[in-house]
Amino acid sequence: MSSLETPVRAADEWKAQWPLVLAAMVGFSFHSIATYSSGLFIEPLQEEFGWSRGQITAGLAIAAISTVPLSPFVGAIIDRWGSRRIALPGLVLTACSLASFGTTGASIAYWLGLWCIYALVGLSVKSTVWTFAVSQAFSAGRGLALAVMLSGTAIAQSLVPPLAQWLIATVGWREAWFWLGFGWCLPALVLAWFFLKDAKPATRPPHAASGPHADVALRVPGMTMGEALRNPALLKLGGATFIMMTLGLAVIVHQVPILTEIGMSREVAAWLAGLSGVAGIVGKLVTGALMDRFDGARIGALTIGVSAAGFALLLAPPSLPTIITGIVIIGYAVGTKLQVAAYLTSQITGMNSFGKIFGMMNSLIALGAGLGPVMSGFIYDAFGTYAPLLLAGIPGSLISAFLVYSLRGSRTPPPAVVEAVSAQMEP
C-alpha cells in the first residue's frame, strides 16, 4: 500500500524554512506592540485628560472583543488565500493605525473609535496569519517552529516597555505612537516581503496535485469546522486558553502600574516588564522543544500551572528577589499560552480547516485579551489596589492547568485518514 505521508526530518524542515519562521516571528511581534505598550501610556493619558484607568484600557478591550465574531471569517480567508496576501497590506495598515493614536484629543469617544479601527486592521496580523504559514511548512518540527514564531510576542514584551518609556520621556507620548508603529513595521514588512511564502504541507507528495485522484489526494488529515466545534478536547482547550488569556493580559498590560504600586519607579518597572518578556521567550522555546518530545498536554499543564506561584509571590511582602521571581515565573508561563493553544489545536484538529478552527480559538483569545486589561483597570478603580486581581490568578491558573492536563493523548489520528485516502488511490 502506498503512503500519503513521506517522513520528514525536523532538521530538513528547518533548513528549508527557517527564513519563513523568522519573518513570521517578527511579523507577529508587531501585532503585540499595542498590548505591551499601552500600560506605559496609562499615566500620561490620565495626567492630560483625567480619564480613569478603566476608561483608558477600555479601548484595548473594545478592540479585542470586536474581533471575536470576525476571527473565524479571517481564518477562512487565510485558508483560501494564504498568509502572504493578508499579512503584507496588513502590516502597513496596522502601522498607520498605531500612529493615529498620537492624534488623540480630549474626547474619550475618539480614543475608543481609534481602537475600533485598530481592531479591524489588526486582524490581518494576528496569530492565525503566522501560525497558518508555519504549521503548513512544518510537521516533524512543528512544536519548536511554532515556539520560535510565537516568541515574537515575548520579544515585543521584552523590548516594547523600555522602548516606549524612553520614547515617551524623549519625544512625548504622541510621537511615541508614531515611532512604535512605523519603526517596527519596516523590518517586519521587509522580512515578510522576501520570506513569507505559503508553503505546502511538508508531508504532501509531489503527485498529490494531479492525476485522476487529485481531489482525494489534496485532502489534508483533520477535522472539519463542525467536527471541531463538537469536540470535547477542543472545548476544554478553549476554556483553558480563555482563562489564561484573561488573567495573563490583565497582569501584562498593567504590569508597570502593578510594579509601581509595589514601590518600583517607572523606569525600573519598565525594565522588569522587559525581563518578563525575556522569560516568555525562554518559556516558548523550552515548551516548544519539549512538546516535540513529550506529550504536549502534560507540558502545557505544567507551564500554565506554575504561574500560580508567580501570582502568590507578587502578593507576598515586597522585596526585590520575590518581585523578580514572581515576574519571571508569570512571564515564562504567560509566554507559553499561545504556544500551547496553537500546538494543541493543530494536534487535536489536524490541518484540514486549521485557519477557520484556530480563527475560532483566536476569538476566545481576543475575548480574554480584551476583558483582562479592562477588568484589571476597573478592579484598581474600585479597590485602589491590584491585589484582588493577583489573588484571582492563583485558582485561575490551576483550573487552566487541569483543563489542559485532561487533554493528554488527544489528537487527530492522521494514519487512519491517510490509509483511507491511500486505499482510494490504489489502482
User: Has residue 392 got a pLDDT over 70?
Assistant: yes
DSSP state letter for 213 = T
The candidate with the shortest Cα–Cα distance to 182, out of 288, 100, 95, is: 95
64 within domain boundaries? yes
Residue range 264-280: mean pLDDT, rounded: 81
Specify the pLDDT at position 355: 67
380 belongs to a structural domain: yes
The mean of the pLDDT values for the chain is 79
* CATH code of the domain in which 339 resides: 1.20.1250.20
Q: What's residue 424's pLDDT?
A: 32
pLDDT tens track for 348-369: 776 666 667 777 777 787 788 7
Q: Domain for residue 111, yes or no?
A: yes
pLDDT at residue 4 tops 50: no
Assigned domain for 386 exists = yes
172, three cell numbers:
512625548
pLDDT at 380 over 50: yes
Lowest mean pLDDT among 4-18, 49-63, 89-103, 210-224: 210-224
Q: What is the mean pLDDT of residues 135-150?
A: 77
Give the mean model confidence (pLDDT) for residues 105-124.
88
- The verdict on residue 73 lying in a domain is yes
Window from 93-97, 406-410, 418-422 with minimum mean pLDDT: 418-422
What cell numbers appear for 326 in the block?
A: 514572581
What's the Cα-to-Cα distance from 207 to each of 192, 213, 276, rounded to whole Å? 29, 10, 47
Q: 306-320, 333-347, 354-368, 407-421: which range is least confident on average? A: 407-421
- Predicted TM-score of the model (pTM): 0.64
Residue 427 lies in a domain: no
- Domain membership of residue 5 (yes or no) is no
Q: Give the number of domains in the chain.
A: 1
Domain that holds residue 339: 17-422
Of residues 180 and 234, the one with the higher pLDDT is: 180
pLDDT of residue 409: 60
**Helix runs in 205-319, H state only:** 214-217, 225-229, 232-253, 255-262, 266-293, 296-305, 307-315
| Per-residue pLDDT at 167 exceeds 50 | yes
415 or 392, higher pLDDT: 392
Q: pLDDT, tens digit, for every residue of 192-249?
A: 999 888 755 444 444 444 444 444 444 555 666 667 677 787 888 888 989 988 888 8
